[in-house]
Each structure stands twice: as structure tokens, then as C-alpha cells.
């Protein structure tokens, strides 16, 4: 029976060929390739031409080749393993061709799918890398450019404050108010662009502090009730009193998120009501989970646009009455994610929108024994111990020098020395006893942060403790860390106005 | 007229266009459909290297490997020349170029070798000029199997070296 089966199912797939020393066929069983005596073996395939130098090897040798593609005269393709044997004692060389086409066909399919998948993933990786590089370049460019715009704005905003305190006609006062409000608007827009580009390149980090959350909400309620009233819109905050009073998080960023959402609601609501709801969801392991929502009865967002509203520079309504950079919601989303929260939006056209945030905030367990320094920085001036303070201003920009001089002169509490060159700063610090130093960073000669490091190492009495405040628009985290490392006490961000400058100065004077 | 047969081998990662270069050179055709080569395909083409000398190139199109040392030793027997092909758009295919070329020149010191950056039609000439250091070894040719650019030049240059 076995023989019957073999006769039915066994098809020999191996060809034996003997050749002479010139590669001519002596014998062949022609199982795969039709060859007659005297044919050149190379007529089967160029493969055998590569072996020509071994045809006359009069020695025992066995060379094996796997997965060789050969074609017969009818152009049928075989994928074969080939053995080439030579022998000592003048025996003719033997070529054995094994047809493994079926096996290799399967292998081909596996290799095809594997290689395609590897190549596609490499291409995808490259595309992602390219897109990321492009995005990073754009964001860094925007960040640098916005930063450069902030410097000249310092002059505009600071001098507006100074100018407002001079004798002016009512008409002139109106003009200054317009300049100031335009400069503030420009400053906010540049700030937004800078913020969004920082978020997108991951250069924004949180600055956690302990703060009074209830007080923050009360302040927002007060501010926005007034603003809403001016627009004849109702404004209400539903606040859950169970929420811990003291929270440990980035107050500035939380405030910014809430302000941006409320401002957004105010902007797009022409009548009706804005309701802010802040509810405690649960408390667990020193963390309180909050559900925050800002609901308006504004113009609403079409369903198909809901996905893009958090993208940068997305202004759905291009009508003139809704001005802005279109960055507010993009910043909100970036900040909420930085705070490890989640933001969603529901909206109906002409009915209004609801922005919902779910967020975890840390809080100190013992709320009763927590207290905050409540004295504002500007109030400190009433508690100062000296009549006059010596302040050194190291700044090369004449505009900034004049701004600081004018602001401090109005206060009447200060003697101001101005130095425009990095090298002269050290000399002046050695020979004068200053109470505070205002230090520009990009000074000609030696930079302000380097000068600070040098001052801190001077063997002069108060050099280790004297407050040194940086005046700068370079505010990346890496910059801030460097200023701190160099010994700077705090930073005054450019562009600054009168109140910012004075608050910081009074904060550090004794 | 003199006529010699020379075996040359194309090496390099999978998907760099070795088979396409050969098809362009031998048949003047190109397809963008990728078909993996397993084992080895052997094609022949006669190349005129001077008015009175023609050479028969036996071109071995090898399966691509990410490590040149994995190439089956029997394939390399009796090789007269190498063409190492990489894809200028895929760093994975040239990040080991320097080592691979060092290995070949060490193991086959007297065998002519051409280093070829293929798929040059997908990038600009300026890109290739500005980034030539990125490949680790200066390529002898930037080719495009798709447009045929520099393909004949590359095979002919190698053929000429084989009969020196």
C-alpha cells in the first residue's frame, strides 16, 4: 500500500547533474531542467558562471547554496537549494538541485510582511521626528521673538505710569489712557503667544505654593461680577464650602485657567448668565478632586468645531467684535494638563457652552494650623525702618534707567545710583553700602547673573545678604534656575509697570 | 573582442532598492511596488567598457540584512566586486555604514567596492551636499533607481575597475 501511495503522491523534486571540468553536462536526470549531454551548465542560470573556477577542482569539496532563484526554459521559476560537489581522483563534479519553492514561497510572505512593517514604522518615526523638529523650531522662534518684543514694551508701559502722574489736560490724560490700554493689550497678547509656545515645547513648569483657595475664588467673584455688570450679564459662582481653604499648587496657573475661561465666556456671551461651579468630588490621600465648570448662555460652538477649539490660533468667530489671539483656550488646555487635570467642553449653538475641568489639588491635612503671611508687599513700605534707602541700578538701556528713576523719585524713599557697564558694578558695590540692587541681565561687559555671583563672593559685609533683583525678559525655567544659582534674590519681569517694580522693591527692603 | 564574466554582489539593508537598481540597469524598468527578495536572484548584463572590450556582469541580488555579517558565506565565493546600497532617506540603513564598509574592506581588501546612496530622487541635491557627513562614509554615487539617474554610471564604473 505504501508503495501505491508513494507512486501517487511522491514527486521527486531533486535533479542530479554531472559535469566535466569545463562545466559541460555529462549526465542529467532532467527532473527540473531539461539538459542534454554537452550543454553548458551555465545555460541554466548565471549562477553557475560564478562557480566556473571550481569546475576543475580535483579535490573533495562540498559547497552548499540556499534559496537560489532559477528559471527553466518555459520561464517557470524555482527556488532551490544547490549542492556543488567535486571529487579527488578525476571523478566528475556533481550538481544537486533541490526544489524548495513551496517552502520559500511561505518564507517570502513572512519576510514581506515583516519588512514592510519595519520600513513603515521607520518612515513613520522619521515623519514624526520631522514634524516635531518643525513644531519645536516654530515654537522656539515665537518664544524668542515675543521675548524681544517685551523689551521695548517696558519703556511704553513704565512711562505711561510716570506720565499719568504729571500735569496734563483731560484730553492728554485720555490719550495716555489709550496708549496704556493698547500697550497692556499688546503685552497680554505677547504674553499669550509666549505662554503657548512654552507649553508646546514643554518649557513651562509649575511653581507650587500654599495659598488660600477660598480667597482666590472670592477675588474672582468680585472682579468678574463688576465686569459682567458692565455688560449687563448675570454672574454667579457656586462654590462648595467643603473644599479645603488652603491648597498647595500653582496659584498663578489655577487663577489663569479660571480667568481665561471666564474671560472667554464673557467675550462670547451677549446676554444671559455666566455660572461658575466649583464642587468637591472627593478627598483622598491629601488630594481633593474638584469638578469645575464655567457655563455661559453665549453664542455656542458648532459640533464639528468642538475638536479644534483647544488648538493654538483657533478663532472660530472671525467677526471683528470678538478680538483676541485665539490662544486663550489652548493655554487653558495646556495648563490644565500641566496640572494633571482634564478639560472637556459641551456646547450648543445659540444656547451656550459649558467647559468642565476635573482636577486633583494637594492640600495640607491640618487646615486649622495653616496660616499665610497676609501683609501685601506694597503695604510693607509703612513698616520700613529707614527713611532713605540706597539702591543701585545696573542697566544699560536708557529707557529702562529713566523709567526706574522716575518711579523711585515719586516715592521719595530712595537714593538711586545708575551704572551702565558690568565692570563698574563691582567697584561701586565695594565702595557703597546698598540696600538693594536692581540688575539687568544682558549688560555689556559682564552679564548681570555673572556679576551677582561675583558680588556674592566679595569679602564685604552685606554682599552675601543684599537683595539682588534681576530685571529681565528671559524667563524660561532654565534662566530662572540659573539666576537663583548665581545668587539672585528674585526677578522683576520686563515689561514692568510702576506697581510691579515697587511691590518687589518693598518686599525685600528691611 | 575580449569578453570576461565577473560576479558582483549587491549588499545592504532590506528595502533600500537593490533589486530596483538591478532591474533599472538590466531591463530599464522600475516599479514602486516593494517585493522582498529572499535568498538570491541572479541577472546578467553585458557592459561595454571600451570600444574593444565587453564584460559580462553576473549580478547577484542578495536578500537584505540589517547586519552585513549575516550574509551567507557561500554567496560571497568568487565575488569580483561589491556594491553596498543604502537608502538616503532612512537612517536605519546607513547608521552602520562605516562599520560595514570597514568590515568589507578588511575581509575583501582587493575586491572593488562602490558605496551607493539610493532613492536620491526623494531628497534635494542640496540636502545630499549639506548632509554628506551624516552617512559616515562618503558615497561613490547617489542614484535613483526610479529615474535611472547615475545607475548606468555606477555599474559601468565598477565594471571598469573589475578589469583593471
Q: In whole numbers, what is the pLDDT of chain B averaged over residues?
A: 92
Substitution target in A41, A42, A46 with the highest count of B β-carbons within 10 Å is A46
Integer Cα distance of B158 and B143 in angstroms: 14
Integer Cα distance of B89 and A291 in angstroms: 49
Integer Cα distance of B37 and B29 in angstroms: 17
- Residue ranges, comma separated, of all CATH 3.30.450.20 domains in chain A are 2-99
User: In a 10 Å sphere around its CB, with 0-12 CB exposed, 13-18 middle and 19+ buried, how is residue A76 labelled?
Assistant: exposed
Residue A11 confidence class, pLDDT cut points 50, 70, 90: low
pLDDT at A321 over 60: no
Mean pLDDT confidence for B112-120: 96
Model ipTM?
0.90
* List of E strands, A47-135: 61-71, 77-86, 93-99
A124 to chain B, any CB pair closer than 8 A? The answer is no
- Residue ranges, comma separated, of all CATH 1.10.287.130 domains in chain A are 120-200
* Nearest residue of A to residue B73, measured between CA atoms: A65
Q: Which of A69, A108, A122 has its CB closest to that of B92?
A: A122
Question: What share of chain B has pLDDT > 70, as a percent?
Answer: 98
Q: In whole numbers, what is the pLDDT of chain A averaged over residues?
A: 86
Question: What share of chain A has pLDDT > 70, as a percent?
Answer: 92
Superfamily of domain A383-508: Response regulator (3.40.50.2300)
Tell whether omega for the bond before A495 is within 30 degrees of 0, i.e. cis.
yes
Substitution target in A42, A43, A50 with the highest count of B β-carbons within 10 Å is A50
Instruction: Give me the pLDDT at residue B69, please.
Output: 86
Nearest of A291, A296, A293 to residue A242 by alpha carbon: A291
CATH code of domain B2-162: 3.40.50.300
pLDDT at A166 over 50: yes
Contact: B38, A67; criterion CB under 8 Å: yes
Residues of chain B contacting A, Cβ within 8 Å: 5, 7, 14-15, 34-36, 38-44, 56, 58, 60, 63-64, 72, 74-75, 77-78, 89-92
Integer Cα distance of B28 and A367 in angstroms: 82
Superfamily of domain A2-99: PAS domain (3.30.450.20)
Residue A85 confidence class, pLDDT cut points 50, 70, 90: very high
pLDDT at A185 over 80: no
- Residue ranges, comma separated, of all CATH 3.30.565.10 domains in chain A are 209-362
Integer Cα distance of A153 and A182 in angstroms: 11
Instruction: Give me the pLDDT at residue A320, please.
Output: 47
Nearest of A80, A93, A98 to residue A24 by alpha carbon: A93
**Which tens digit of pLDDT belongs to each residue from A241-250?**
999 999 999 9
- Tell whether domain A120-200 is in CATH 3.40.50.970: no
CB A81 within 8 A of CB A98: yes
* Nearest residue of B to residue A51, measured between CA atoms: B78
- The terminus-to-terminus CA distance of chain A in angstroms comes to 112
pLDDT at A478 over 80: no
Contact: A50, B90; criterion CB under 8 Å: no
Q: Which of A49, A53, A104 has its CB closest to that of B39?
A: A104
Choose the weakest-confidence range: A50-59, A311-320, A341-350: A311-320
Contact: A50, B60; criterion CB under 8 Å: yes
Instruction: Give me the pLDDT at residue A369, please.
Output: 67
Instruction: Give me the pLDDT at residue B37, please.
Output: 92
Contact: B90, A119; criterion CB under 8 Å: yes
Instruction: Give me the pLDDT at residue A315, please.
Output: 57
Q: Which of A53, A63, A68 has its CB closest to that of B40?
A: A68
**Which tens digit of pLDDT belongs to each residue from A332-389?**
998 999 899 999 999 999 899 999 999 999 988 777 766 665 555 556 666 666 778 8
pLDDT at A457 over 60: yes
Residue A50 confidence class, pLDDT cut points 50, 70, 90: confident
Instruction: Give me the pLDDT at residue A392, please.
Output: 93
Q: Cβ–Cβ contacts within 10 Å for residue A56, how many?
A: 12
* Closest Cα in chain A, distance from residue B120 (Å): 16
Q: How many CB pairs under 8 A join A and B?
A: 75
Nearest of B76, B67, B69, B72 to residue B38 by alpha carbon: B72
Residue A25 confidence class, pLDDT cut points 50, 70, 90: very high
Instruction: Give me the pLDDT at residue A386, please.
Output: 74
Choose the weakest-confidence range: A192-206, B82-96, B109-123: A192-206
**Which tens digit of pLDDT belongs to each residue from A263-313?**
999 988 999 999 999 999 998 888 999 999 999 999 988 888 887 888 766
Domain locations along chain B = 2-162
Question: What share of chain A has pLDDT > 90, as a percent?
Answer: 37
Residue A29 confidence class, pLDDT cut points 50, 70, 90: very high
pLDDT at A227 over 50: yes
Integer Cα distance of A143 and A137 in angstroms: 10
Instruction: Give me the pLDDT at residue A495, please.
Output: 79
Residue B90 confidence class, pLDDT cut points 50, 70, 90: very high
CATH code of domain A209-362: 3.30.565.10
Instruction: Give me the pLDDT at residue A371, please.
Output: 67
Amino acid at each position: 500500500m505504501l508503495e501505491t501511495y508513494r507512486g501517487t503522491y511522491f514527486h521527486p523534486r531533486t535533479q542530479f547533474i554531472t559535469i566535466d571540468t569545463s562545466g559541460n553536462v555529462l549526465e542529467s536526470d532532467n527532473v527540473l531542467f531539461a539538459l542534454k549531454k554537452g550543454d553548458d551548465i551555465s545555460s541554466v542560470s548565471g549562477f553557475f558562471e560564478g562557480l566556473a573556477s571550481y569546475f576543475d577542482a580535483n579535490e573533495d569539496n562540498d559547497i552548499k547554496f540556499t534559496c537560489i532563484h532559477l528559471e527553466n526554459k518555459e520561464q517557470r521559476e524555482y527556488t532551490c537549494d544547490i549542492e556543488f560537489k567535486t571529487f579527488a581522483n578525476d571523478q566528475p563534479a556533481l550538481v544537486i538541485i533541490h526544489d524548495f519553492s513551496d517552502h520559500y514561497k511561505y518564507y517570502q510572505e513572512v519576510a514581506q510582511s515583516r519588512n514592510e512593517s519595519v520600513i513603515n514604522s521607520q518612515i513613520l518615526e522619521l515623519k514624526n521626528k520631522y514634524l516635531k523638529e518643525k513644531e519645536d523650531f516654530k515654537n522656539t522662534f515665537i518664544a524668542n521673538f515675543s521675548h524681544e518684543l517685551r523689551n521695548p514694551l517696558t519703556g511704553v508701559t513704565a512711562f505711561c505710569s510716570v506720565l499719568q502722574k504729571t500735569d496734563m489736560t483731560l484730553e492728554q490724560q485720555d490719550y495716555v489712557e489709550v496708549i496704556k490700554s493698547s500697550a497692556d493689550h499688546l503685552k497680554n497678547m505677547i504674553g499669550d503667544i509666549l505662554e503657548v509656545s512654552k507649553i508646546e515645547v514643554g518649557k513651562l513648569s509649575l511653581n507650587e505654593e500654599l495659598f488660600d483657595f477660598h480667597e482666590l475664588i472670592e477675588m474672582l467673584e468680585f472682579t468678574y461680577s463688576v465686569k459682567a455688570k458692565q455688560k449687563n450679564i448675570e454672574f454667579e459662582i457656586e462654590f462648595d464650602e467643603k473644599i479645603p481653604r488652603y491648597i498647595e499648587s500653582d496659584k498663578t496657573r489655577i487663577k489663569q485657567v479660571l480667568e481665561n475661561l471666564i474671560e472667554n465666556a464673557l467675550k462670547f456671551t451677549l446676554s444671559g448668565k455666566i455660572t461658575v461651579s466649583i464642587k468637591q468630588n472627593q478627598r483622598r490621600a491629601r488630594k481633593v478632586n474638584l469638578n469645575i465648570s464655567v457655563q455661559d448662555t453665549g453664542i455656542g460652538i458648532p459640533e464639528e468645531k468642538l475638536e479644534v477649539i483647544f488648538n493654538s490660533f483657533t478663532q472660530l468667530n472671525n467677526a471683528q467684535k470678538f478680538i483676541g489671539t485665539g490662544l486663550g483656550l489652548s493655554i487653558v488646555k495646556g495648563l490644565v494638563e500641566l496640572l494633571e487635570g482634564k478639560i472637556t467642553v459641551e456646547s450648543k449653538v445659540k444656547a451656550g457652552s459649558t467647559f468642565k475641568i476635573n482636577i486633583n489639588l494637594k492640600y495640607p491635612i491640618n487646615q486649622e494650623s495653616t496660616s499665610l503671611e497676609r501683609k501685601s508687599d506694597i503695604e510693607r513700605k509703612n513698616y520700613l525702618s529707614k527713611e532713605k534707602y540706597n539702591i543701585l541700578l545696573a542697566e544699560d538701556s536708557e529707557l529702562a534707567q529713566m523709567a526706574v528713576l522716575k518711579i523711585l523719585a515719586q516715592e521719595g524713599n530712595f537714593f538711586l545710583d545708575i551704572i551702565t557697564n558690568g565692570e563698574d558694578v563691582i567697584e561701586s558695590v565695594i565702595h557703597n553700602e546698598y540696600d538693594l540692587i536692581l540688575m539687568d541681565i544682558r549688560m555689556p561687559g559682564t552679564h548681570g547673573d555673572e556679576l551677582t555671583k561675583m558680588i556674592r563672593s566679595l569679602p564685604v559685609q552685606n554682599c552675601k545678604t543684599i537683595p539682588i533683583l534681576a530685571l529681565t525678559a528671559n524667563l524660561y525655567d532654565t534662566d530662572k534656575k540659573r539666576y537663583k544659582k548665581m545668587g539672585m534674590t528674585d526677578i522683576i519681569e520686563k515689561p514692568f509697570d510702576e506697581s510691579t517694580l515697587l511691590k518687589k522693591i518693598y518686599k525685600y527692603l528691611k | 573582442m575580449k569578453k570576461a564574466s565577473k560576479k558582483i554582489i549587491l549588499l545592504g539593508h532590506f528595502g533600500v532598492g537593490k533589486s530596483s537598481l538591478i532591474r533599472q540597469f538590466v531591463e530599464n524598468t522600475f516599479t514602486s511596488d516593494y517585493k522582498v527578495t529572499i535568498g538570491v536572484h541572479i541577472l546578467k548584463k553585458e557592459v561595454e567598457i571600451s570600444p574593444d572590450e565587453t564584460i559580462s556582469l553576473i549580478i547577484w541580488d542578495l536578500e537584505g540584512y540589517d547586519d552585513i555579517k549575516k550574509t551567507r558565506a557561500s554567496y560571497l565565493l568568487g565575488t569580483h566586486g561589491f556594491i553596498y546600497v543604502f537608502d538616503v532617506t532612512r537612517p536605519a540603513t546607513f547608521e552602520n555604514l562605516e562599520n560595514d564598509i570597514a568590515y568589507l574592506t578588511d575581509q575583501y581588501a582587493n575586491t572593488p567596492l562602490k558605496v551607493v546612496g539610493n532613492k536620491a530622487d526623494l531628497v534635494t541635491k542640496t540636502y545630499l551636499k549639506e548632509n554628506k557627513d551624516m552617512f559616515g562614509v562618503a558615497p561613490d554615487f547617489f542614484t535613483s533607481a526610479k529615474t535611472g539617474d547615475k545607475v548606468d554610471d555606477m555599474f559601468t564604473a565598477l565594471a571598469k575597475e573589475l578589469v583593471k
